[in-house]
């Protein structure tokens, strides 16, 4: 989860997320194993979403504002390289359009690295935006040191809240930190090799569900932390919640027709059969997502723009 002057994969990722999530498409399709979802069947190519010649744009999260405008929250950095720029210089910026099919215009920067000795010293990225009651809730990742190591094991998730998509934004708690991998040694993701990253968020049935990517003893999985209050504390479940066969990331989540949905990438095609496609996971309780119940969230981007 674009004519931006950066790599082709970054452009495709940004454009598609106007409708889905931060996505990268850069390989060929395999034979299908899963069925197409209602989302995949309804997708149409609409063109470029954002162009900013001064920044590389990595991915974004969309939301419809109360005034009817569409707002994109985008990870961006001034360098023209991807790595290490994304983990060193990223910030979350806000772009606005009158409707999702028109070009988006820069509005403001929501959150930057502090540059100080804090959990979010470097590179806020992976934005996820939701409206909860009267509040806009933005989640993001950041790190204490972009050098490898310790990155990416030092990635954590933060939250800022505002009454308006234009801000001002306030960090929750003392410093905005909402989740990290090292708070409980009994959990499956304790000392995860990539920390906790790629947040996805749903408020449903009086609870708050925070999904995240982590690497445990069984490899890369999505996990879940639940809270009775928006600002936490969030308690991580004892086990991961996906049974994926291979890499998945960059999720977004939503509640629709009495079911929870988690939309992730399928980087190597081993979950749906489409290399570079996406997986739409479905769950009745939001606590477990089984591959047998999953469908194809989206095909590779050429399927859509070459059919127009």
- Whether the pLDDT of residue 184 is over 80: the answer is yes
Residue with tokens 């001064």: 54
Query: Which letter does DSSP use for residue 196 in this model?
Result: S
> If pLDDT is split at 50, 70 and 90, which confidence band does 308 have?
low
- Whether the pLDDT of residue 306 is over 90: the answer is no
> What is the maximal distance between C-alpha atoms in the chain?
52
What is the predicted pLDDT for the residue at 98? 96
**φ, ψ for residue 211, nearest 5 deg:** -90, 150
Q: Locate all alpha helices (DSSP H) within the chain, ordered by sequence.
A: 8-16, 38-42, 85-88, 302-305
What is the predicted pLDDT for the residue at 189? 97
Q: 40-64 b/e with 16+ CB inside 10 Å = b?
A: beebeebeebbebeebbbbbbbbbe
**Tell me: the pLDDT tens digits for 189-224?**
999 999 999 999 999 999 999 999 999 999 999 999
What is the predicted pLDDT for the residue at 307? 73
Residue with tokens 């990438």: 265
What span, in angstroms and rounded, lies between the C-alpha atoms of 253 and 140?
A: 14
> If pLDDT is split at 50, 70 and 90, which confidence band does 32 have?
low
What span, in angstroms and rounded, lies between the C-alpha atoms of 234 and 254?
A: 18
- Whether the pLDDT of residue 101 is over 80: the answer is yes
Tokens of 263: 């939309």
Please state the length of the chain: 308
Range with the lowest mean pLDDT among 14-18, 46-50, 146-150, 270-274? Answer: 14-18
What is the predicted pLDDT for the residue at 85? 98
**Tell me: the pLDDT tens digits for 119-152?**
999 999 999 999 999 999 999 999 999 999 999 9
Domain map (residue ranges) of the chain:
8-305
The average pLDDT across 40-60 equals 91
> If pLDDT is split at 50, 70 and 90, which confidence band does 33 have?
confident
For the CA atoms of 215, 158, 164, 76, the dihedral, rounded to the nearest 10 degrees, stands at -70
**Tell me: the pLDDT tens digits for 57-80?**
998 999 999 999 999 999 999 999
The average pLDDT across 82-111 equals 96
| CATH superfamily, domain at 8-305 | Glycosyl hydrolase domain; family 43 (2.115.10.20)
Q: Look over the chain and give the mean of its residue pLDDT values, rounded to a whole number.
A: 90
What is the predicted pLDDT for the residue at 48? 83
Query: Which letter does DSSP use for residue 147 in this model?
Result: S
What is the predicted pLDDT for the residue at 177? 98
Position with higher pLDDT, 9 vs 73: 73
Whether 1 contacts 59, CB under 8 Å: yes
Tokens of 55: 């920044």
């Amino acid at each position: 989860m674009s004519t931006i002057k950066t790599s082709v994969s970054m452009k495709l990722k940004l454009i598609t997320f106007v409708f889905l999530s931060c996505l990268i498409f850069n390989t060929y399709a395999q034979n299908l194993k899963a069925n197409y979802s209602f989302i995949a069947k309804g997708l149409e190519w609409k063109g470029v979403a954002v162009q900013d010649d001064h920044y590389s744009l990595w991915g974004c999260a969309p939301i419809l504002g109360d005034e009817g405008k569409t707002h994109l929250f985008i990870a961006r950095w001034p360098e023209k390289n991807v790595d290490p720029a994304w983990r060193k210089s990223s910030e979350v910026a806000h772009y606005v359009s009158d409707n999702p099919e028109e070009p988006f215009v820069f509005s403001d920067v929501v959150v930057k690295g502090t540059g100080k000795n804090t959990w979010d010293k470097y590179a806020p990225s992976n934005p996820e935006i939701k409206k909860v009651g009267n509040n806009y809730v933005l989640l993001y990742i950041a790190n204490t040191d972009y050098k490898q190591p310790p990155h990416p094991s030092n990635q954590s998730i933060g939250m800022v809240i505002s009454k308006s998509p234009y801000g001002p934004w306030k960090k929750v708690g003392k410093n905005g930190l909402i989740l990290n991998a090292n708070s409980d040694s009994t959990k499956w993701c304790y000392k995860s090799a990539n920390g906790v990253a790629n947040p996805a968020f749903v408020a449903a049935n009086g609870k708050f569900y925070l999904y995240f990517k982590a690497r445990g003893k069984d490899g890369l999985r999505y996990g879940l932390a639940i809270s009775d209050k928006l600002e936490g504390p969030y308690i991580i479940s004892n086990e991961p919640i996906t049974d994926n066969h291979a890499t998945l990331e960059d999720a977004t989540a939503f509640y629709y027709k009495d079911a929870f949905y988690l939309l992730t990438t399928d980087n190597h095609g081993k979950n749906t059969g489409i290399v570079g496609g996406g997986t739409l996971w479905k769950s009745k309780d939001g606590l477990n997502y089984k591959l047998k119940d999953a469908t194809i969230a989206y095909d590779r981007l050429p399927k859509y723009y070459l059919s127009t």
